[in-house]
């Protein structure tokens, strides 16, 4: 197990370097000159434009910029935004917000999704099962912006229960609704995955054995059925945590949440390579750690799985 973890951690290094490199060059190859864009519709002052680019190192060749960037990255320096703020500060402000939002959405889709899937799987073909299939199909087919606007209109404008946008991005209570919107599509997948998995495992030999042993129903379902059925769901959830953090861009825009999505949107608009790649670096790390955790969880769920 220890060797497996060590090997996985070592594998993360080339993956990390590769992604950062690709993102660096992709963001720097976007059309348009971010420095000249600071002058808006007016022509940039050539002397100042040159000085500005020199200050930010934008006059160097792409490869030189890349080497500087990678060198800085290993000392924890993510560079500066065009306005001269440290990218690490921008990330530090946005990340805690999105972590909260993503975790809320994650808990929501995990608890509600597995619950729906479990009951639907156990009572296959019954009314609840059919209802859950219709509901999840609806959730999958409604795009997030539409769902967001519906929620905003119903709960804020019509019912007046909440404010249409989040007033304090660090307030967990206010983040619940955006989190539900954010997690709803994944919720549908979690529910369907769980349902199928449960329904299949119900017919497995070990289930018959457990029932034949006279184990209480709670134990049969909780320890034997659910545990074995969770493997595909955990795989999905692991990668989904990263997707939730990156995918918050739409939800955060609708609800004006000041998180990663919002900051990324702003940075992409301004063509700020340093900020965009800074955030992507963080998101890549989240993905890598999440997929490592998934692999480790396999062993916990099914002891037969061994790592060489």
Partner 1 sequence: MRGASQAKWVVAAVAVALAATACGSSNSSGGSSGGGDAVNAQGVFSYQSSEPQNPLQPANAMEVGGGRIIKSLFKGLVDYDPSNGQLRNQVAEKIETNDAQNYTVTLKSGWTFHDGTPVTAASFVDAWNWSANVKNNQINSDWFSDIQGYTDVHPDAGDPKAETMSGLKVVDDTHFTIALNGPVSYFEYKLGYTAFSPLPKVFFTDPAKYGQAPIGNGAYKFVSWEHNKAVTVAAYDKYAGIDKPKNAGIVFKNYSQAEAAYKDLVSDNLDVLDQVDPSDLASYKNDLGDRAVDQAQGAIQSISFSLYAADWKPENLAKVRQGLSMAIDRDTITKTVLNGSRQPANSWVAPGAMGYKDNTCGEACTYNPEKAKQLVTEGGGVPGNKITVLYNADGGHKEWVDAVCNSIRQATGVECTGDAKPDFKTSRDLIKNKKVDGLMRTGWVQDYPLNANFLRDVYGTGAAANDAGYSSPEFDKLAAEADKATTVEKTAELYQQAEAQLAKDMPAIPLWYYKTTAGYSKNVQNVKYDSFGDPVFTQVEVKQK
Which segment (8-16, 60-68, 157-165, 240-248) binds partner 1 by CB under 8 A?
Answer: 157-165
The yes or no reply on residue 52 touching partner 1 (CB under 8 A) is yes
The residue to which tokens 């301004």 are assigned: 270
Residues 259 to 288: which contact partner 1 by CB under 8 A?
Answer: 262-263, 265-266, 270
Residue with Cβ nearer partner 1 (74 or 161): 161
* Binding flag, residue 42, partner 1 (CB under 8 A): yes
- Residue 197 makes contact with partner 1 by CB under 8 A: no
> What six digits make up the tokens of 302?
């099914």
168 near partner 1 (CB under 8 A) = yes
Q: How far apart are CA 65 and CA 86, in angstroms?
A: 17
Helices (H), 161-259: 172-201, 205-212, 217-219, 227-255
Considering only 1, 43, 212, 308, the residue that binds partner 1 (CB under 8 A) is 43
Under rule CB under 8 A, residue 256 binds partner 1 = yes
Q: Kindly tell me which residue out of 23, 73, 116, 188 binds partner 1, with binding defined by CB under 8 A.
A: 116
Measured CA to CA in angstroms, residue 226 lies from 82, 115, 219, 223 at distances of 51, 11, 10, 6
| 86 interacts with partner 1 by CB under 8 A | no
Query: Does the footprint of partner 1 cover residue 119 (CB under 8 A)?
Result: yes
- C-alpha to C-alpha distance for 171 and 163, rounded to whole angstroms: 13
Cα(142)–Cα(160) distance, integer angstroms: 23
Nearest approach, Cβ of 251 to partner 1 (angstroms)?
11
What would the two tokens of residue 137 be?
A: 């199909």
Binds partner 1 (CB under 8 A): choice among 255, 279, 287, 298: 255
CA distance 206 to 212: 10
Residue for token pair 């060749």? 61
Candidate ranges 22-30, 114-122, 228-236, 294-302; the one touching partner 1 (CB under 8 A): 114-122
For residue 40, the SS3 value is coil
Residue 133 CB neighbour total at 10 angstroms: 15
Selected from 98, 174, 184, 291, the binder of partner 1 by CB under 8 A is 174
Distance CA 122, CA 217 (A): 12
Burial of 195 (C-beta count, 10 Å sphere; 0-12/13-18/19+): buried
Q: Answer yes or no whether residue 29 interacts with partner 1 by CB under 8 A.
A: no
Say how many residues make up the chain: 308
Q: How far apart are CA 209 and CA 212, in angstroms?
A: 5
Binding mask 212-251 for partner 1 (x = CB under 8 A): ----------------------------------------
Q: Given the rule CB under 8 A, which of 5-13, 57-65, 170-178, 281-289 is the region that contacts partner 1? A: 170-178
187 binds partner 1 per the rule CB under 8 A: no
Residues that bind partner 1 (CB under 8 A): 31-33, 37-43, 45-48, 51-52, 55, 82-85, 89-90, 93-94, 112, 115-116, 119-120, 122-123, 126-128, 152, 155-157, 160-165, 167-169, 171, 173-174, 176-177, 180, 252-256, 258, 262-263, 265-266, 270
């Amino acid at each position: 197990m220890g060797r497996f973890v060590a090997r996985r951690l070592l594998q993360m290094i080339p993956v990390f370097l590769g992604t950062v490199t690709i993102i660096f060059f992709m963001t720097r190859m976007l059309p348009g000159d971010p420095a000249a864009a600071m002058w808006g519709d007016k022509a940039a002052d050539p002397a100042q434009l040159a000085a500005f680019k020199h200050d930010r190192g934008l006059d160097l060749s792409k490869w030189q910029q890349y080497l500087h960037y990678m060198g800085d990255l290993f000392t924890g320096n993510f560079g500066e935004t065009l306005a001269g703020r440290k990218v690490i500060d921008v990330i530090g402000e946005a990340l805690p917000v999105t972590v909260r939002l993503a975790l809320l959405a994650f808990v929501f889709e995990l608890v509600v999704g597995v619950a729906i899937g479990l009951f639907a799987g156990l009572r296959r073909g019954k009314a609840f099962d059919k209802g859950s299939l219709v509901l999840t199909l609806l959730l999958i087919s409604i795009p997030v912006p539409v769902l967001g606007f519906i929620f905003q209109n119903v709960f804020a404008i019509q019912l007046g229960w909440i404010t249409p946008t989040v007033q304090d991005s660090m307030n967990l209570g206010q983040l619940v609704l955006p989190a539900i919107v954010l997690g709803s599509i994944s919720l549908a997948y979690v529910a369907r995955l769980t349902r199928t998995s449960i329904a299949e495992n119900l017919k497995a030999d070990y289930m018959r054995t457990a029932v034949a042993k006279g184990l209480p129903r709670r134990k049969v379902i909780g320890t034997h059925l659910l545990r074995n059925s969770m493997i595909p769901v955990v795989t999905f959830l692991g990668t989904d945590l990263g997707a939730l953090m990156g995918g918050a861009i739409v939800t955060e825009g609708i609800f004006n949440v000041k998180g990663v999505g919002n900051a990324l949107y702003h940075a992409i608009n301004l063509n700020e390579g340093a900020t965009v790649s800074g955030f992507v670096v963080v998101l890549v790390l989240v993905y890598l750690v999440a997929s490592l955790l998934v692999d480790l969880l396999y062993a916990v769920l099914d002891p037969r799985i061994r790592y060489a």
